[in-house]
Structure 1
């Protein structure tokens, strides 16, 4: 729809007072897919004041553009003299994105994932610390945040990690995998207009599996009781979904160290999901919907890390396959449908598939 347009030039030729009409005409909405090429151009071209204004707009497409642009501003803040990764996690811009992650409009939430990926492109250490902070509200000034930053810096100075399997990029079957599209989060988000809704959840065991309520949250769950008390279950689920969507981007996990950190965060996101009991989901439609959205994202996100961290990815999936929670097993099964995961370690993929089939 948009690849032949030179949107940066189009925007530069217009006074910003005329942008609203241009965005409305070229947004691609109403429709199943927003014009992300234009949205990214707006994020690159708009000044700071306009980006804040757009991000607060009642118009969903304008808010999408502005939210992506907040990621640009956050990435620029990383370069400020004396700025540290922990400082970035505590900036008002980071908090603004955290609030946008729980916005009721799904396209705005997708904008958050794209904004975070811009931060990841600019400063990988800050990226990991900000995402960790979102899973632990006290992480901005905690030992956990400092540990993530120290580990990241060590990995980046330790030399190059093993390259990702080049066969993955050339495999034509991968083109059919929605997570490899230019906007993997949008392709996989079940809240799109065509989504049949929670009633069509492909794993009917979720509605009745009593083991879900008793499934223990692993000790590594980074959402402590105090943080859980401060944020509602739907908000925790949506912030975890933003984290999962942000890390499930191949360009950000090409290095082994990055992929390992991504697996750790995806593990934590899975723990957040399992921490919301099925009784609460049945009683609260918003909890049910946000849990489904997070689960859908986790259903492909682990496979993205497999090329650069196959051992760690399969170890996580093998662990979750043994869970009594239907959610966890569904996540494993969905990732096993991704060609890139099968190619990363065929014997382990076959063994894991057989284990699930034997249930």
Structure 2
């Protein structure tokens, strides 16, 4: 990216985005986040182009890690209808976790109490990343986020659970629990195993899905 003029970035990014396809070029987006500035990120986001927005939102994560006041913007993007943009928010939160884990913990615990299931989903996906779960405090935070989000899921009426937003949260919890528990079973297993007593069909589903994951299955 450094050898290109800023005006050439959009065309280069579109050409090397990996889209249409099953996987966007995440590595390139991370490079953009490293090299760009706020004007660049804002410009990408306003284009509406899915990959450019993806890059811009990941870039906001760097600004957040540097102390920028962009949390509310990221919270808004967490509820975007495009799943790749929502994934960019999780990557942005992980950038914050790399540099300021305590701030990440405060943020995701707050987001886990949001009424929007997509914001809850971003909190879980953001903190349930193996490289961030190297301390007991991190694991405790991840388990708490998963627990709060699972409790909120189980409290939703049946008609809400058919929505795309709630299904996205359920899907995330279907793997996030296993990531958090595997990072420190002594902390995570009791909370996860307690879910087995629930008669809620969605909680039963996420227990079953997480139990299939190799990282967790070998602990059970």
Q: CA deviation at 1:54?
A: 1.3
**CA radius of gyration, larger in:** 1
Equivalent of 1:114 in 91, 102, 110: 91
Aligned to 1:194: none
Q: Counterparts in 2 of 1:169-188, with a 5 A limit?
A: none
Aligned to 1:270: 150
Cα offsets for 1:272-308 (capped at 9, x unmatched): 22222112345xxxxx211111111111111112233
Instruction: State yes or no: 1:239 paired with 2:119.
Output: yes
Unmatched 5+ residue regions in structure 2?
none
Root-mean-square deviation (CA), in Å? 1.5
Cα offsets for 1:220-251 (capped at 9, x unmatched): xxx5xxxx4xxxxxxx1100110111112101
> Contact (CA 8 Å) 1:43, 1:72: kept in 2 or not?
yes
Instruction: Name the CA distance, whole Å, in 1 between partners of 2:172 and 2:160.
Output: 20
Q: Which has the higher helix share?
A: 2
Cα offsets for 1:4-28 (capped at 9, x unmatched): xxxxxxx111110111110111111
Instruction: Name the CA distance, whole Å, in 1 between partners of 2:182 and 2:210.
Output: 13
Aligned to 1:302: 177
May I ask how many residue pairs the two structures share in their alignment? 220
Aligned to 2:189: 314
Normalised by the size of structure 2, how large is the TM-score?
0.95
Normalised by the size of structure 1, how large is the TM-score?
0.59
Unmatched 5+ residue regions in structure 1?
1-10, 79-90, 137-222, 229-235, 283-287, 350-359
Instruction: State yes or no: 1:28 paired with 2:18.
Output: yes
> Contact (CA 8 Å) 2:175, 2:210: kept in 1 or not?
yes
The structure whose RCO (Cα within 8 Å, separation 6+) is larger is 1
Aligned to 1:140: none
Instruction: Name the CA distance, whole Å, in 2 between partners of 1:105 and 1:280.
Output: 19
Instruction: Name the CA distance, whole Å, in 2 between partners of 1:244 and 1:114.
Output: 12
Instruction: State yes or no: 1:95 paired with 2:72.
Output: yes
Instruction: Name the CA distance, whole Å, in 1 between partners of 2:99 and 2:45.
Output: 21
Equivalent of 2:28 in 38, 42, 45: 38
> Contact (CA 8 Å) 2:182, 2:188: kept in 1 or not?
no
Equivalent of 2:103 in 126, 139, 145: 126
Instruction: State yes or no: 1:68 paired with 2:45.
Output: no
Aligned to 1:261: 141
Q: Counterparts in 2 of 1:196-207, with a 5 A limit?
A: none
Instruction: Name the CA distance, whole Å, in 1 between partners of 2:44 and 2:155.
Output: 35
Instruction: Name the CA distance, whole Å, in 2 between partners of 1:338 and 1:51.
Output: 36
> Contact (CA 8 Å) 1:248, 1:301: kept in 2 or not?
yes
Secondary structure of the corresponding residue to residue 77 of structure 1: coil
> Contact (CA 8 Å) 1:135, 1:239: kept in 2 or not?
yes
Secondary structure of the corresponding residue to residue 31 of structure 1: coil
Instruction: Name the CA distance, whole Å, in 1 between partners of 2:197 and 2:45.
Output: 42
> Contact (CA 8 Å) 1:240, 1:272: kept in 2 or not?
no
